[in-house]
């Protein structure tokens, strides 16, 4: 379940295990309620714990571990579901091409609109809306204040609405 203990720990639980191990069952329960596949819930729980392990130096010791783990798990599960939905949409043989066209057109229209955004706005949309990162995480990646990032997201959404409404007007 947890990465291999080092020789230093000599069979004693590590700080990571003491902090996060008690929440594994609740994490799996949370994921089981959000996906019908218990194997997927277990996989996402394992990925979540590994992510927490590799990012443990970023975890605030005064913060509660469960919300931190649930946030990671929610984003991991959402990414898996998005990926699966895109793959199913492209590979679903029971859905004829005319039936799939509205979804494909919506996806292509959005990609086209994103390509028209300025680089800074496109990057914040990719990090927050597509990758599911929090504003704080995205701000850290971009090296800018959270307030600036929020402003960029607001501006990007406003610009996207304009672009999409113009596209819709052209197709009529």
Residues 123 and 110 in one domain: yes
Residues 85 and 2 in one domain: yes
pLDDT (0 to 100) of residue 136: 86
SS3 133: coil
Residue with tokens 């704080």: 136
Residues 53 and 111 in one domain: no
**Number of domains present in the structure of the chain:** 2
Q: CATH number of the domain at 165, please.
A: 1.10.10.10
Q: What distance in Å separates the CA atoms of residue 162 and residue 172, rounded to the nearest whole number?
A: 16
Residues 70 and 16 in one domain: yes
Asked whether residue 156 carries a pLDDT value surpassing 80, the answer given is: yes
Residues 6 and 53 in one domain: yes
pTM above 0.85, yes or no: no
pLDDT (0 to 100) of residue 86: 57
Residues 155 and 84 in one domain: no
pLDDT (0 to 100) of residue 88: 52
Residues 85 and 115 in one domain: no
Q: CATH number of the domain at 50, please.
A: 1.10.1740.10
Write the pLDDT tens digit of every residue in 71-95.
889 988 888 777 765 555 445 545 4
Q: What is the mean pLDDT of residues 25-34?
A: 90
The domain boundary residue, chosen from 49, 69, 91:
91
Residues 1 and 86 in one domain: yes
The domain boundary residue, chosen from 91, 112, 147:
91
pLDDT (0 to 100) of residue 96: 47
Residues 6 or more apart whose CB falls under 8 angstroms from that of 41 comprise 28, 31, 32, 34, 35
Q: What is the mean pLDDT of residues 110-132?
A: 83
Residues 55 and 137 in one domain: no
Domain membership of residue 121 as a residue range: 96-172
The domain boundary residue, chosen from 43, 61, 91:
91
């Amino acid at each position: 379940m947890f990465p291999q203990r080092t020789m230093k720990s000599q069979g004693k639980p590590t700080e990571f295990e003491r902090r996060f191990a008690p929440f594994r069952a609740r994490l799996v329960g949370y994921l089981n309620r959000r996906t019908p596949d218990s194997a997927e819930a277990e996989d996402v729980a394992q990925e979540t714990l590994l992510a927490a392990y590799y990012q443990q130096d970023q975890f605030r010791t005064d913060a509660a571990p469960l919300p931190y783990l649930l946030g990671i798990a929610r984003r991991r599960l959402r990414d898996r579901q998005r990926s699966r939905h895109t793959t199913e949409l492209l590979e679903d043989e029971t859905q004829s091409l005319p039936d799939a066209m509205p979804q494909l057109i919506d996806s292509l229209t959005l990609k086209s609109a994103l390509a028209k955004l300025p680089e800074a706005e496109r990057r914040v949309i990719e990090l927050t809306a597509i990758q599911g990162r929090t504003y704080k995480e995205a701000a850290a990646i971009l090296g800018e204040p959270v307030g600036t990032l929020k402003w960029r997201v607001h501006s990007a959404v406003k610009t996207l609405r304009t672009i999409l409404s113009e596209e819709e007007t052209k197709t009529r």
